[in-house]
Amino acid sequence: MLNNNGPRYKRSKLERKLNIDVIFCVILLFAMCLVGSLGHFVWLQKQPGVAPYLVADSNGHLDSPGLSAFYMFFTMIILLQVLIPISLYVSIELVKIGQIFFIANDIDLYDEETDSRVQCKALNITEDLGQIEYIFSDKTGTLTENKMVFRRCSIMGTEYAHKENAVRLTVLEEPEESEEDVIFNQQPRPAKTGWSLDAEDTNPEETQHHHGSRRKSKVAGNAQSDVAFSSPLETEVIPDRKLLQQISRAESSSGRSGSREMDPYLEFFLALTICNTVVVSMATAQRRRMSLFSRSHQASNPPDTMSGSLRRFFTSWQRKPKRNRTFSEDSVIEEDRFNPPVKTEGSGAISGLQTCSLHAPSQDGKPATTSDNLSYEAESPDEAALVYAAKAYGFTLMGRTPNSVTVSLPSGRELVFEVLDTLTFDSVRKRMSILVRHPITKEYVLYSKGADYAIMELLGTPYAEHLRGKQKSIAADTQHHLDCYAREGLRTLCFTKKVVSEKEYESWSVNRRRALAAMENREELTMDTAVQLETNLSLLGATGIEDRLQEGVPDTIVALREAGIQVWVLTGDKPETAVNIGYACRLLEEEDLVINMSCRNTLACTSILDCALEEVRRYSDDPRNVDTTPDISLVIDGHTLTMALSSDLQERFVELAKHCRTVLCCRVTPLQKSRVVKVVREKLKVMTLAIGDGANDVNMIQASDVGIGISGQEGMQAVMASDFAISRFKHLKKLLLVHGHWCYTRLANMIIYFFYKNVAYVNLLFWYQFFCGFSGTAMIDYWLMIFFNLFFTSAPPIMFGIMDKDISAEMLLGVPELYRMGQGAGEYNFKTFWISMLDAFYQSLVCFFIPYIAYRDSDIDVFTFGTPLNTISLFTILLHLSIEIKAWTVVHVVIILGSVAIFFIVTLVYSGICITCNPPSNPYWILQSQMADPIFYLICIITTVVALLPRYIFHVLRNSIAPSPLVQARHLDKLDPSTRSQWIKEWRSFRGGGQGRRSGLSTPPSPTLETPVVILPQSPTASDITGDEFTLNVITENYQRPLHT
């Protein structure tokens, strides 16, 4: 707890501006009190003698004019203290509670799949949602579903595409059926034991399915998907036939030779199974319900029927058009994890599709133990996907304890590995390792997995004793496969093995124990021991895992960009993967110039920043590019970002990033994420929002003005550290464009109105001081003054801040550009504040001097003069609010009329029962007498009209001559829904076809370094981020200009 600094306290931008304006009010109060003090001094000096109403002290002496003026200064502070809006802070909190209630109960922000709604964890920054200018987003789990699907792998330089599994995933993408519908619309088979590679022929006509069973299976599928990382999309993998045959040969040769050496293919899948932190547990209740449902169908679906149905499905899928594909989806039957259907190699003939059965005779006449009742609990979906992929090939993780890992091989044999140590993953090493004693070879073996750039540089000579000829090209071939995976948007991992000698292990173990026992620098020493052991690794292979985009992400990003929000993606993935995802979610457009920065030294980074900035300036200085912006996107890796954020290059990087529509930061650490957010927030003075779903996003979330956590599959760390929590990225669209706009405009207008209300009322007392010798006397009863702010005018502004709706949600979502009105200075700025203050001074002058002129030279007493002023002030303030209200509801009408009714009821009762409540004053029967006088009503009407006429005329002229986009949107809101929708559609199509000219940026000039500047006129899904010093890649679809030298 002593080392926990905690997150920084976040204050909204509106609150910071409010505090400054309160200081202005304090200065104004002191100025008014000073005027009152000096006025009292001058008034006393001009008295010819001692006034009879001046009371002397006990000694018969009067205070000097200077001392009386000094006392009067503090008297005026007490009298005019309402000018300081202390009650405004309480009203703001009440308004925010109401706004949060509406946000939390918005049905559009509810996610039925996870049964969760938006959570508002910070009550003080709701209005900041309407002023966001930069969004910093994580990728995995934020833009994507974080449902990892095993797609491809490369083992010992050979790539296995898993085409059958790709076909299955294509079926799952069909909009007619969900993934659970397809996967669970299959019947169970008796569990196989062991394995062998045989082909089975079945009759396709034996399998029949009905649509009714699909609905039942969907229930079971949804039940199973409640378990983290256990949806059918993640757990079901169809093995590659070629790889199955390779494993079969490796297993057979290892069994016949009796060698203590393990085949690299077997080692690869052992690494997948062992090198993780997955915990094995018994099946959950959801899985037990699934098994009960499955048993009811065993009799009608024998195993041999399933391969025929699968063959029929593949045949129909390849021969039928897409619209007819759904009829055969009922026949998608996948064999269990030990009996997977595969496709034969060759020309792709449909007749070659067969089913591989992995089984072996049971030993000793006893059935082997099945793994159907096992459930895997993983810290990340990547680990779960890899364990399930290994299980599909027969390598089943059976159990894990702190000291051992049990793995079942395809032959049915179980191996128990003694765990000697686990080198956990960290953001510096970018890898994890596990050191075990191999039960067969009795060797100390270190299995490692991690990012390719973190693994490749640690490789020794891989399997020189096993491979001949092409063994030297394994690393190069694997790297080529990794690059292909990244260009397809797959997440990549490399797996390695290292045999540690007993002497090396004993020496290392001593250092390890010493590091773990250290009292100082324990983390550094522990990391040093891990790095010491992770050297001269032997490459086994690599995997490609797909993480699909969430629903609605492209539309959300497009809407946010139209709203004037810059979207940055900060991810730990490879640049190629980030670029692929960028195009998929429309962060990058085909017309964009994508600048890929990858530098190895500071000099190269400086040159590329200077070149890019020079090109941006050249574009801006071109008179042909007036009112256009360059469509530039920047892709930068973590190493280059570290140099760009250094003190000498930070200004250049920020200047370049400011001119980019999108920035993708790849291979970044959590600390780099927070650093980027802080630099942009502090240098550009903009409102920032960070959104993520994992623990690695906590720093970024806390560093931003608004932090949003997504309650995904990687725990609740991001949610707990966030200000708001949502379940889907698409909810960000309405949260910002609708609720953010509403919250900001409501609070901004309410705060301005609150300042106006207090100044307009207090000034009545100030003007009266000019006619009472600046004596601090009030012409209104003190209790009525207290009731005015406490009861009569407190509820209307609160309801105004909670329920006013300037534009409908449909309009705000249909025209995202309206969000720009709240960015920057917004509606609550220096100009609007002082205009409101001047209006308050004008209205107070009117409300005071019109009754004063009407009652001048009459014999009314002071309270008879003050009661019309109090009534006129109430009408003026409430009608002023009525002009500002954009959307009238029953609540607004009831509150305003109720305030007027309460005023008259309380004042009449007070005047009727209070004879000498505040002696020597006597407010008895004042209002009753006034209401019997026609002049009272005439004065109230004339004064109120004259006071509000300038504001009303100003609104009419502004909305008629130069209407703002918000005013135009309100006019459209008055149309019927069909007409409004048609207008929005036509406007959007017109804007899409005729939006401003595209940038004609020329390619940045080559730096004065012997480093390549590559122009790649290729598909936007490809990028090349390699080079000796740095590489500047400009990617565009139909654009290429010569270099400027």
List residues with catalytic annotation.
138
> Is the Cβ–Cβ distance between 164 and 352 less than 8 Å?
no
Query: Measured between alpha carbons, how far is 674 from 671 in angstroms, rounded to an integer?
Result: 5
Integer angstrom CA distances of residue 589 from 131, 197, 497, 636, 950 = 25, 48, 41, 17, 49
Cα of first residue to Cα of last residue in the chain, in angstroms, is 58
- Produce one character per residue of 464-495: b if its CB has 16 or more CB atoms within 10 Å, e if not: eeebeeebeebbeebbebbbbbbbebbbbbbb
Query: Measured between alpha carbons, how far is 430 from 426 in angstroms, rounded to an integer?
Result: 6
Amino acid at 820: R
User: Dihedral of the CA atoms 696, 700, 702, 703 (nearest 10)?
Assistant: 150
Residue 342, strand partner residues: 354
Largest separation between any pair of C-alpha atoms in the chain: 128
Query: Measured between alpha carbons, how far is 142 from 124 in angstroms, rounded to an integer?
Result: 25
User: Which H or E run includes 447?
Assistant: strand 444-450
User: Which H or E run includes 698?
Assistant: helix 698-703
> Is the Cβ–Cβ distance between 584 and 664 less than 8 Å?
no
DSSP secondary structure of 509-545: HHHHHHHHT-SSSHHHHHHHHHHHHS-SBEEEEEEEE
| Helix 741-769 with 830-855: angle, nearest 10 deg | 40
Residue 493, strand partner residues: 543
DSSP secondary structure of 580-622: HHHHHTTSS-TTSEEEEEEESSHHHHHHHHHHHHHHHHHHHH-
> Is the Cβ–Cβ distance between 378 and 384 less than 8 Å?
yes
**DSSP letter at 107?**
G
> Is the Cβ–Cβ distance between 191 and 372 less than 8 Å?
yes
Spatial CB neighbours of 644, under 8 Å, sequence gap ≥ 6:
597, 605, 609, 636, 650, 652, 653
The pairing of beta strand 431-437 with beta strand 414-423: antiparallel
Amino acid at 145: E
> Is the Cβ–Cβ distance between 372 and 193 less than 8 Å?
no
Amino acid at 92: I
DSSP secondary structure of 762-783: HHHHHHHHTTTTT----SS-HH
CA angle, residues 524, 527, 531, in degrees to nearest 5: 135
The alpha carbon of 229 is separated from its chain's Cα centroid by a whole number of angstroms, namely 21
Which residue has 């959950």 as its token pair? 284
Please choose, from the candidates 524, 514, 532, the residue with its C-alpha nearest in 3D space to the C-alpha of residue 435.
532
CA angle, residues 934, 939, 945, in degrees to nearest 5: 130
> Is the Cβ–Cβ distance between 883 and 753 less than 8 Å?
no
DSSP secondary structure of 703-767: HSSEEEEE--SS-SHHHHH-SEEES-TTHHHHIIIIIIHHHHHHHHHHHHHHHHHHHHHHHHHHH
Helices (H), 59-195: 65-79, 86-104, 163-172, 179-183
